[in-house]
Amino acid sequence: MHSPYCISLVRPVRFSTREVRCGDVGIGGNNPIRVQTMTTTDTQDTAATVAQCIRCIEAGSELVRITAPSISDAENLANIKSELRRLGYRTPLVADIHFTPHAAEIAARIVEKVRINPGNYADKKKFEQKEYTDAQYAAELDRIRDRFVPLVRICKQYGTAMRIGTNHGSLSDRIMNRYGDTPEGMVESALEFVRIAEDEGYYDIVLSMKASNPQVMVQAYRLLVRRMMETGRNYPLHLGVTEAGDGMDGRIKSAIGIGALLADGLGDTVRVSLTEPPEAEIPVAKKLVSRYASLRVADADFPPVVSETSPFDPYAYQRRLSHAVGKTGGRQVPVVVGDFSSNPPNHPDALLPIGYRYDAASDKWSLSDLAADLIYCGSHSLSFALPGSLGVIEDFAWWRQQPPRSNVFPLLLPGELDAFSATETIAFLLVRPAELQSPLLDALTRYPQLILVLHTESELPVPALRQAFYLLHQRRSTAPVIIRLRLAETDPESFLLRLAADAGTLLVDGMGDGLWLTGPHHDAAFINQVSFSILQGCRQRISRTEYISCPSCGRTLFDLMETTARIRERTHHLKGVKIAIMGCIVNGPGEMADADYGYVGSGPGKVTLYRGKEIVRRNVNTEDAVDALIDLIRENGDWVDEPTQQD
């Protein structure tokens, strides 16, 4: 039994929020989900910032955020806005403020919206360990009120909207010491500022709860909505996974976090944070939100909540209880299935795309960190011996005609259960969610060696799959479940975004003991990489180095994309190590969250290196900084030499 806020299991609808006007653009209410981005140019460089704003607008950005770290930056927003308007662009501008309340007060008179971070706007984060009495806590809130109220009054006077944007990694010492580094602390950090604004009669507020860990981000947004529902609030939500990174990993992490919340019916505006040019973020965001464009806003007859009985806790990760069947389920990491049914392997080299390399001279197999656990061959048998770690799934009709073979298992359809009586044999049962009725649920009890394969090709499969897990929960079934998704999408980016959003939505809530992804237009290597990236993005199976990389902005003190590529090239083989690459101190020790090592811009041409949240070396020249990072990893015992591949 969990709290009253549980996710819709039947059909997703959008949580009804108030409309906040940002210039000519409405956020929340009955408006479509808005997409936005943030510039990376120096805000003092008017021409460059205007040019980049135009590229973002023409790519489809409905709002453009610009950093204003100083008073002079905030003042130059007037020149940027004037030039854009002169050129005919009326897209609302958002000033991004950290540390400098006076800059926010200047910007609020110029742009249509300001974003503040409650962790560093009028608060502090020095990683001090200090207990706050109730009186001390109240005194701190009074101090914050004195600093924040002037901005609220200016926004109210000028009709300027505000985003109160909490970041997981930049919670203040005061919040950290009372609530810890938790979703609850994130929510309370924002609501403290909301209450101050409401006391001034100001409600043009958008809220966000960003984190680099999609699991934490999803839990924080859900908890925020619960708190709003309990107190009669309905502010619009800005969704984003901060420091997602670049390439496939950045897209997948963003799709997991943003997709999970959109599937919940939450979210009114989206920013995908990639360590790439900002205009590259817009097509990704548009692809993510397009699937949910038709969701109607919830009404009183059908709020986006259901029974308080749920198969998962929306606010705290707990993997669904399942029993182990072979290498699937229990406490084992989720498995990955490679689908070879349309192109059965006829030579050991055919398994290279899924992480298996055969050396004929030694008659041995070597496995990569992205080695799949099972392959599906349909109605085919392999003509060569496989490594013992790789299982094979065959169609039941074909399997039962073959002699018994170790590590080869049948895949049954519901109608074939009566013909299956080998209760000691591990078997896979392929079921669509609608077929999961009493007879099949009874079979899972009769045959504990069955592994359930939940399969759907629905356009929006998450509600149906959640309903299936709900039925399993009701029947107290602990059968392990592999999620099988087939997608005919031809575009690689759309393919991985949709799969990450759908599979990730389930995995961040602990539902699923494996992934079986298929697509007729993509090769086995790509699908295998997507599968492992989704599991890593959900923190379910760490198979390689993880990078927490900020998306760059006008505060960035080095070439973030080039540096990220250099660090990735040198460290990509360090399985399980988390490295944060931050362009400036704003995205420094706090935003790195749970990284093992940090590489943070500290001044022009200078970098500060961190071990966890501890500063190890200050003011390292950028030309030496990557080597210094490698040395730090070595000194800490986390370095291993990259293995050489045998051709």
Angstrom CA distances, 550 to 65, 118, 270, 275, 316, stand at 15, 19, 16, 6, 25
CA distances to 194, 546, 565, 571, 637 from 630, in Å: 43, 15, 14, 8, 11
Instruction: Give the integer Cα–Cα distance in Å for 614 and 588.
Output: 11
pTM of this prediction?
Answer: 0.86
CA-only gyration radius of the chain, Å:
26
| Separation CA 52–CA 64 (nearest Å) | 10
Beta bridge partners of 392: 375, 408
- Mapping DSSP onto H, E and C, the string for 383-411 reads CCCCCCCCEEEEEHHHHCCCCCCCCEEEE
Report the candidate in 568, 598, 602 with the shortest Cα–Cα distance to residue 581: 598
Residues 56 and 45 sit within 8 Å (Cβ to Cβ): no
Tokens of 366: 């070597």
**Measured between alpha carbons, how far is 33 from 474 in angstroms, rounded to an integer?**
35
> Residue by residue, what is the 3-state secondary structure of 47-109?
HHHHHHHHHHHHHCCCEEEEECCCHHHHHHHHHHHHHHHHCCCCCCEEEEECCCHHHHHHHCC
Q: Which two tokens stand for residue 140?
A: 């701190």
State residue 95 phi and psi, 5-degree precision: -90, 130
Q: What is the maximum alpha-carbon separation in the chain?
A: 81
pLDDT of residue 302: 37
d(C-alpha 19, C-alpha 203), whole Å = 10
Tell me how far the alpha carbon of residue 349 is from its chain's centroid.
Answer: 34
Tokens of 200: 């001034």
The neighbour count for residue 75, using CB atoms within 10 Å, is 16
Strand partners, 598: 580, 610
Reduced to 3 states (helix: H, G, I; strand: E, B; else coil), residue 378 is: strand
Taking the C-alpha atoms of residue 358 and residue 647, their distance in angstroms, rounded to an integer, is 10
**Tokens encoding 420:** 């299956």
The continuous run of DSSP H or E covering 38 comes out as strand 34-38
Q: 16-20: list long-range contacts, CB under 8 Å, 24+ apart.
A: 16/234, 16/297, 16/298, 16/299, 16/303, 17/234, 17/235, 17/236, 17/237, 17/268, 18/203, 18/234, 18/235, 18/236, 19/236, 20/161, 20/204, 20/205, 20/206, 20/235, 20/236
Q: Three-state SS for 132?
A: coil
| Among candidate residues 209, 148, 214, the one with its CA nearest the CA of residue 184 | 209
Q: What's residue 1's pLDDT? A: 31
Give the integer Cα–Cα distance in Å for 522 and 510. Answer: 27
Confidence (pLDDT) at 549: 65
The candidate with the shortest Cα–Cα distance to 246, out of 575, 607, 637, 552, is: 552
Crossing angle, helix 214-231 and helix 247-263, to 10 degrees?
20
DSSP 361: T
User: How far apart, in whole angstroms, are the C-alpha atoms of residue 337 and residue 584?
Assistant: 41
Q: Give the residues across from 26 on adjacent strands.
A: 21
Angstrom distances, CA of residue 511 to CA of 41, 440, 625: 42, 19, 41
The two tokens of residue 175 are 């919040």
- All structural domains of the chain, each given as residue ranges with its CATH number in brackets, are 20-290 (3.20.20.20), 335-537 (3.20.20), 546-635 (3.30.413.10)
Distance CA(617)–CA(610), nearest Å, equals 7
Predicted pLDDT at 551: 56
| CA–CA separation, 378 and 396 (whole Å) | 9
75, two tokens: 């003042």
Instruction: Give yes or no for a contact between 190 and 170, defined as CB atoms under 8 angstroms apart.
Output: no
Could you give the CA distance from residue 67 to residue 365 in angstroms, rounded to a whole number? 52
Cα 292 to chain center, whole Å?
A: 17
Phi/psi at 370 (5° precision):
-110, 40
Residue ranges in the chain whose pLDDT is less than 50 = 1-6, 9-10, 299-308, 645-647
- Rounded-to-integer distance, Cα 471 and Cα 207, Å: 34
Environment class of 157 (CB within 10 Å of its CB; exposed 0-12, middle 13-18, buried 19+): exposed
> What's the length of the chain?
647
44 contacts 268 by C-beta, under 8 angstroms: no
DSSP 328: B
Q: Give the type of residue at 609.
A: L
How far from 49 is each of 111, 168, 192, 562, CA to CA, in Å? 14, 28, 33, 20
Among residues 24, 106, 113, the alpha carbon closest in space to that of 65 is found at: 113
CA pair distance 617, 611, nearest whole angstrom: 9
SS (H, E, C) 154-191: HHHHHCCEEEEEEEHHHCCHHHHHHHCCCHHHHHHHHH
Q: Are 238 and 163 in contact (CB under 8 A)?
A: yes
